[in-house]
Structure 1
């Protein structure tokens, strides 16, 4: 949730920061300076030259459960990937569920295919 000052806050009102960590291929979520979780991704280019960001795992530490951090993390990560012109591929069940609930991302997504799943295994 973004408050009136433009700061992202969780359900408790604590300030939340989402940052891309490209060296480790993940977005991190921190609350009051403490890392609470991440969304892991891998970048690829499909057979048609389309840049894709494949989200394959999201986790938030149990100590931060129930605060809406996973949803905040996923939304911010997807918004960033979309702003970069990348197609979003939701292999991670949490990302896939978010995309299903938010059709406004449909133009920015690519389907999960066997080819992508095989590529991830490598």
Structure 2
């Protein structure tokens, strides 16, 4: 399988509360989120079956987390198992993760 990550265009679609990865005119995947004061909770990431294993999910995660970092307005609450695992594999994004008042990383 070849990587398609360089061909993936990721944008934020705030009307649908999700980041979308497109290949041409087709949505190849998305990362859904919920916003609250100071937090962005990533709730679900989905990649169309035919695009699995081609870097679409990683492109989504990287773009979304870079966008959060660039705005500097929110911390990340990684409820989605994919986003949570992606952050665990990329330690330079751990500083974005919300830490509960008791010092525990959520969730």
On whether the aligned pair clears a TM of 0.5, the verdict is: yes
Where does structure 1 lack aligned partners over 5 or more consecutive residues?
Answer: 1-9, 46-50, 114-122
- 2:39 counterpart of 1:52: yes
Aligned-residue offset at 1:42: 0.5
User: In the alignment, which residue of structure 2 is the partner of 1:39?
Assistant: 31
User: In the alignment, which residue of structure 2 is the partner of 1:90?
Assistant: 78
Aligned-residue offset at 1:109: 1.1
What TM-score do the two structures reach when normalised by structure 1?
Answer: 0.75
Q: In 2, are the aligned partners of 1:36 and 1:61 still within 8 Å (CA)?
A: yes
User: In the alignment, which residue of structure 2 is the partner of 1:70?
Assistant: 57
Moved more, 58-67 or 10-19: 10-19
Q: Which has the larger radius of gyration?
A: 1
- 2:92 counterpart of 1:101: no
Q: Between the two structures, name the one with larger relative contact order (CA 8 Å, sep ≥ 6).
A: 2
Q: In 2, are the aligned partners of 1:14 and 1:32 still within 8 Å (CA)?
A: no
Runs of 4+ in 1 over 4 A off after TM superposition: none
The CA distance in 1 between the partners of 2:15 and 2:56, in whole Å, is 22
- 2:68 counterpart of 1:81: yes
Aligned-residue offset at 1:66: 1.6
What TM-score do the two structures reach when normalised by structure 2?
Answer: 0.84
Instruction: Give the number of aligned pairs.
Output: 99
Where does structure 2 lack aligned partners over 5 or more consecutive residues?
Answer: 99-104
